[in-house]
């Protein structure tokens, strides 16, 4: 347990206001995503059936671990974006038009495989509020089942038969791996620039958002300008989403975050809240950050002190302001499409992404 820290009165007031407004903001974000999911309920149900069917295997451990992942829930945002993008581009309904469903499942497999591998690398014990797969089944099983899901994703790409789709999704898979390696190389390094950090989150998160959206336009056989617009929407949404996640690691309670609060801090990850607090802090503050991040010399009370410094320098506000810029860019990218309910739902999803941490 960390030592309790008493914040100055101004910071207590700010935190109280944040807590009071946070619940309604969180509800707004969840409502936007719920509306989008409801609008695409039939497609999403088909996608979930495809996911469960493709997770089956005669090797007993694979469906057991897969069932654990399914039970953990999750918003399935990335496959939802594939389904929404296809529909936005006029992809027809009906049993003879299911490419978007299979590719949405493919996107989810890529994402889930990376989560399994990430939790092993990060030694995470929680995922979406439940014990992570590696905590339950062990590291070896998690890595190997992650490999299985990557293989399944490439089977789905091959089944689709489009070289363009395969190029988009395989490129995204490579970029995700590059982003994770780059993040590892910047770990514990406070000389990391903001641009380097943004490159990391583009690779580890935004690239798959972008690919998930672009393939929707491809299956609908839309002109490249619409593919590019949806790719821009996905990229900017993914950037905003990851910035907010990084803010939540220092601003959320464990129930909201779905993982242990302060994991990024304990692992020495370089995220924008840390970079902003380090840049705006005093020399004494910087000595603290160098000790706990670069030297990895952490005491039980250090997370509490880090939260004080982050609050004092408004590092969360700076992070969310940048996320809001990306969210606005995501909304604007869809302006080339007709003003339909689906377009508005996608734009609302982008707008409310930032409110998860407000």
User: Residue 284: which CATH number?
Assistant: 1.10.600.10
**Residue ranges making up the domain that contains 308:** 24-349
- Position 132 scores a pLDDT of 79
In what helix (H) or strand (E) does residue 70 lie, and over which residues does it extend?
helix 61-71
**Is the confidence at residue 44, as pLDDT, over 50?**
yes
What span, in angstroms and rounded, lies between the C-alpha atoms of 49 and 64? 17
**Within-domain flag for 15:** no
- Position 134 scores a pLDDT of 83
**Within-domain flag for 118:** yes
- Position 126 scores a pLDDT of 65
- Least confident interval from 37-51, 55-69, 115-129, 277-291: 115-129
**Within-domain flag for 320:** yes
Averaged pLDDT for residues 232-248: 96
Averaged pLDDT for residues 47-69: 89
What span, in angstroms and rounded, lies between the C-alpha atoms of 118 and 113? 9
**Within-domain flag for 300:** yes
SS3 131: strand
For strands 130-131 and 126-127, give the pairing. antiparallel
Tally of CB atoms within 10 A around 163: 9
Residue closest to 130 by CA, chosen among 67, 76, 183, 204? 67
Please count the structural domains in the chain.
Answer: 1
**Is the confidence at residue 348, as pLDDT, over 60?**
yes
**Within-domain flag for 259:** yes
Confidence of residue 3 (pLDDT cuts 50, 70, 90): very low
Residue with tokens 């953990």: 72
DSSP per residue, 133-179: HHHHH-HHHHHHHHHHHHHHHHHHHHHH--HHHHHHHHHHHHHHHHH
**Residue 127 forms beta bridges with which residues?**
130
The pair of three-digit structure tokens given for residue 34, joined into one six-digit string? 């719920």
- Least confident interval from 132-141, 146-155, 171-180: 132-141
What span, in angstroms and rounded, lies between the C-alpha atoms of 306 and 312? 10
**Within-domain flag for 208:** yes
Residue closest to 326 by CA, chosen among 240, 234, 208, 206? 240
Percent pLDDT > 90 in the chain is 69
**Within-domain flag for 256:** yes
**Within-domain flag for 180:** yes
For 20, residues 6+ apart whose C-beta sits below 8 A from its C-beta are none
**Is the confidence at residue 82, as pLDDT, over 90?**
yes
What span, in angstroms and rounded, lies between the C-alpha atoms of 270 and 264? 8
Confidence of residue 252 (pLDDT cuts 50, 70, 90): low
pTM exceeding 0.85: yes
Residue closest to 240 by CA, chosen among 331, 325, 299, 339? 325
- Position 165 scores a pLDDT of 98
Backbone φ and ψ for 179, nearest 5 degrees, come out as -65, -40
For 248, residues 6+ apart whose C-beta sits below 8 A from its C-beta are 256, 257, 356, 357
In what helix (H) or strand (E) does residue 130 lie, and over which residues does it extend?
strand 130-131
**Residue 128 forms beta bridges with which residues?**
none
CA 285 to chain centroid, in Å, comes to 30
CA 62 to chain centroid, in Å, comes to 24
219 and 210 in contact (C-beta within 8 Å)? no
The pair of three-digit structure tokens given for residue 157, joined into one six-digit string? 């790409």
Averaged pLDDT for residues 81-95: 94
**E-strand spans in the chain?**
126-127, 130-131
């Amino acid at each position: 347990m960390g030592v309790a820290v008493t914040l100055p009165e101004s910071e207590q007031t700010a935190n109280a206001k944040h807590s009071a407004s946070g619940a309604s903001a969180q509800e707004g974000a969840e409502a936007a995503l719920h509306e989008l999911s409801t609008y695409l309920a039939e497609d999403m149900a088909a996608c979930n059936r495809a996911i469960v069917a493709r997770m089956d295997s005669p090797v007993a451990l694979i469906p057991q671990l897969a069932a654990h992942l399914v039970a953990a829930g999750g918003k399935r945002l990335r496959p939802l974006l594939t389904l929404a993008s296809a529909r936005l581009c006029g992809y027809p309904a009906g049993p003879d038009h299911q490419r978007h469903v299979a590719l949405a499942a493919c996107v989810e497999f890529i994402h889930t495989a990376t989560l399994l591998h990430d939790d092993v690398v990060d030694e995470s014990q929680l995922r979406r509020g439940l014990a992570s797969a590696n905590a339950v089944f062990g590291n070896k099983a998690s890595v190997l089942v992650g490999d299985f899901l990557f293989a399944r994703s490439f089977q789905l790409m091959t089944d689709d038969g489009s070289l363009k789709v395969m190029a988009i999704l395989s490129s995204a898979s490579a970029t995700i791996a590059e982003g994770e390696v780059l993040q590892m190389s910047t770990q514990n390094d406070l000389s990391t620039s903001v641009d380097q950090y943004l490159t990391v989150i583009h690779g580890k998160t935004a690239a798959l958002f972008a690919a998930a959206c672009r393939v929707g336009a491809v299956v609908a056989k839309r002109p490249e300008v619409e593919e590019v617009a949806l790719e821009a929407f996905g990229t900017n949404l993914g950037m905003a989403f990851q910035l907010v996640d990084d803010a939540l690691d220092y601003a959320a309670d464990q129930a909201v975050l779905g993982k242990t609060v302060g994991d990024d801090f304990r692992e020495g990850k370089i995220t924008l809240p840390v970079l902003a607090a380090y840049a705006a802090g005093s020399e004494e503050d910087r000595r603290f950050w160098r000790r706990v991040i670069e030297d990895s010399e952490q005491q039980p009370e250090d997370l509490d002190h880090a939260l004080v410094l982050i609050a004092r320098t408004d590092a969360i506000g700076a992070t969310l302001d940048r996320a809001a810029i990306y969210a606005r860019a995501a909304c604007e990218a869809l302006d080339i499409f007709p003003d339909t309910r689906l377009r508005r739902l996608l734009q609302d999803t982008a707008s409310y992404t930032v409110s998860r941490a407000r």
